[in-house]
Amino acid sequence: MNAVIIGCGVIASRWLRTLSADPRIRVVAVVDPDLARARVLAASYGVARAAATLTEAASAAAVQVAVNLTPPAAHTAVTRHALRAGLHVLTEKPLALTLADAVDLVTTARTSGRVLAVMHNRVLDPQFQPVVAACAGRSGPLAVTADVLVGLADPGFRSTQSYPVTTDLAVHAFDQIQVLISAAPVQVFCTETALPFIGAHASLATMTITFADGSVFGYRGGFTGPGLTTSATGTWQVHGTPLDPPVSTPDATPGYQRCITAMIDMLHTGPAAAAWPVTALRSIALLDAARRSAATGRPVTVAAVPHQPPTPTSSRRP
What CATH number does the domain containing 233 carry? 3.30.360.10
Q: Are 282 and 178 in contact (CB under 8 A)?
A: yes
Residue 318: the pLDDT is 36
Both 233 and 188 in one domain: the answer is yes
CATH of the domain at 67: 3.40.50.720
Share of the chain above pLDDT 70, in %: 93
Both 59 and 83 in one domain: the answer is yes
Both 129 and 238 in one domain: the answer is yes
Residue 240: the pLDDT is 62
Phi first, then psi, for residue 300 (nearest 5°) are -130, 135
Both 115 and 258 in one domain: the answer is yes
Give pTM, 2 decimals: 0.91
User: Which residues span the domain enclosing 93?
Assistant: 2-121+254-275
pLDDT at 140 over 80: no
Both 11 and 111 in one domain: the answer is yes
Average pLDDT of span 208-234 = 93
In this structure, which amino acid lies at residue 66? A
Confirm whether 248 is domain-assigned. Answer: no
Confirm whether 307 is domain-assigned. Answer: no
Q: Are 49 and 28 in contact (CB under 8 A)?
A: yes
Number of domains in the chain: 2
Question: CA geometry: angle at 12 spanning 168 and 245, to 5°?
Answer: 55
Confirm whether 302 is domain-assigned. Answer: no
Both 57 and 149 in one domain: the answer is no
Confirm whether 199 is domain-assigned. Answer: yes
Residue 174: the pLDDT is 97
Both 102 and 184 in one domain: the answer is no
Both 149 and 69 in one domain: the answer is no
Confirm whether 99 is domain-assigned. Answer: yes
Tens of pLDDT, residue by residue over 245-282, are 555 555 678 899 999 999 999 998 888 777 888 889 99
Confirm whether 93 is domain-assigned. Answer: yes
Both 7 and 117 in one domain: the answer is yes
Most distant pair of Cα atoms in the chain: their distance: 67
Confirm whether 166 is domain-assigned. Answer: yes
Confirm whether 249 is domain-assigned. Answer: no
Both 33 and 93 in one domain: the answer is yes
